Amino acid sequence: MNLLIRLPNWLGDSVMATFALEILYQTYPKAHFYLVGSKVSCALFSHYPNTTTIIDNSKQANSRILALYKLSKAIPPCEIAITFQNNFLSALFLFFNRSKKRIGYANELRSYLLTLHPKKPKKLHESLRFARLVESLIPNHSIAPKLYLKHPKISITLPPHFHNQKIAGINAGASFGNAKRWEEKYFAEVIEDLLNNNFCVILFGIESENPINQKILSHLQKSDKILNLSGKTSIPELMAYFLKLQILITNDSGPMHIAAAFNIPTIALFGPTDEEETCPFNAKNSHILSLKTIHKALPCQPCKKRSCPLPNNSTNHHACMRELKPAFVITKIHSLIS
């Protein structure tokens, strides 16, 4: 039996889809899974058994539809195909494969391409939205609602003086947009406190986020207890490093969801995004900090914008993150590490 899954493109969305995927993997343990998605989404599952990951590069093709057709024909016809994307082309991709059961939310006039097309529910956590698609096929399952991510089968090397030390991770980037990013000098204040409490610190981020981490470092004295890994880790390596952490401080981002899946103690900083839809899903060791959680919520939250829509010279510009002061985060860290 073959199953075809069109993954979300974003790293965080793909992690949030793991509850839905776990239902499928446990319901069809002898099936072979074809997971199609972006480079980062495929990297999450490259070590999964009975799984072939395929990177979709059709956006770079002269004819995207032709590229999707050829990609679909390179995959054996599947008994079940599900798209976690909500666009027309992802449904067309399933149709091209001639999968017997094609499942996706009714959207962009694509229902005629799908054999099962429920209406997309509103005001629901993204993990549950993905799961609802699978549950339209498998309504009766006993899989606990949480994030599922298998540990990578690789080893990483830490500096010798990091061994047997408490390690904190800092994820100061956010690929969706700068509105979700906490200020660099605020992260620097938190790092300084961590160093004073005998933590070693690892800065994470993709290569384009290295300027963010360099700005953080510019606010700090040079220390061999800080390791900057910007642009130096693959997704499997990132997961392996996360497994070494005692705590992670992060913006709302893909790495935040990886930490939630691994049950790593996490402080997640929220501003413009909707906590009810994208918070760490059923992660008992994840803690959200926002103006809302400290009872100072702004009327514009959550705006869900990539950049703050308020004028740069306005006193309220990016206030959802700017007014979330380091003292709140440091107090929360101390309550966790004590």
Q: What pLDDT, on the 0 to 100 scale, is given for residue 248?
A: 98
Q: 75-79, 141-145, 176-180 — which is least confidently predicted?
A: 176-180
pLDDT in the model for residue 184: 96
In the chain, the percentage of residues whose pLDDT exceeds 70 is 100
Question: Is 308:272 a contact under the CB 8 Å cutoff?
Answer: yes
**Residue 182: which of 159, 154, 213 has the closest Cα?**
213
- Residue 316: what pLDDT? 86
The chain-wide mean pLDDT, for the chain, equals 95
**Residue range 87-104: mean pLDDT, rounded:** 97
pLDDT of residue 314: 83
Joined tokens for residue 205: 């981020």
Q: Does residue 35 have a pLDDT over 90?
A: yes
- Residue 102: pLDDT over 90: yes
Residue 330 to residues 189, 204, 283, Cα–Cα distance (Å): 9, 19, 21
Tell me, what's the pLDDT at 313? 84
Per-residue model confidence (pLDDT) at position 175: 75
pLDDT, residue 260, reads: 97
For 277-300, the pLDDT digits (tens) are: 999 999 999 999 999 998 888 999
What's residue 297's pLDDT? 87
pLDDT band at 121 (very low <50, low <70, confident <90, very high): very high
What is the pLDDT, as a whole number, of residue 83? 98
Residue 110: CA count within 13 A, CB half-sphere: 25
Q: What is the mean pLDDT of residues 163-185?
A: 91
Query: Is residue 338 over pLDDT 80?
Result: no
The encoded tokens of residue 4 equal 């075809």
3-state secondary structure the chain: CEEEEECCCCHHHHHHCHHHHHHHHHHCCCCEEEEEECHHHHHCCCCCCCEEEEECCHHHCCCHHHHHHHHHHCCCCCCEEEECCCCHHHHHHHHHHCCCEEECCCCCCCHHHCCECCCCCCCCCHHHHHHHHHHCCCCCCCCCCCCCCCCCCCCCCCCHHHCCCEEEEEECCCCCCHHHCCCHHHHHHHHHHHHHCCEEEEEECCHHHHHHHHHHHHCCCCCCCEEECCCCCCHHHHHHHHCCCCEEEEECCHHHHHHHHCCCCEEEECCCCCHHHHCCCCCCCEEEECCCCCCCCCCCCCCCCCCCCCCCCCCCCCHHHHCCCHHHHHHHHHHHHC
Beta bridge partners of 6: 36, 83
- Give per-residue pLDDT as tens, 251-277: 999 999 999 999 999 999 999 998 889
Mean pLDDT of 13-20: 98
pLDDT at 275: 87
State the average pLDDT over residues 7-20: 97
Cis peptide before 265 (omega within 30 of 0): no
Average pLDDT over residues 1-11: 97
The stretch 229-238 carries a mean pLDDT of 96
When mean pLDDT is compared across 71-75, 271-275, 322-326, the lowest value belongs to: 271-275
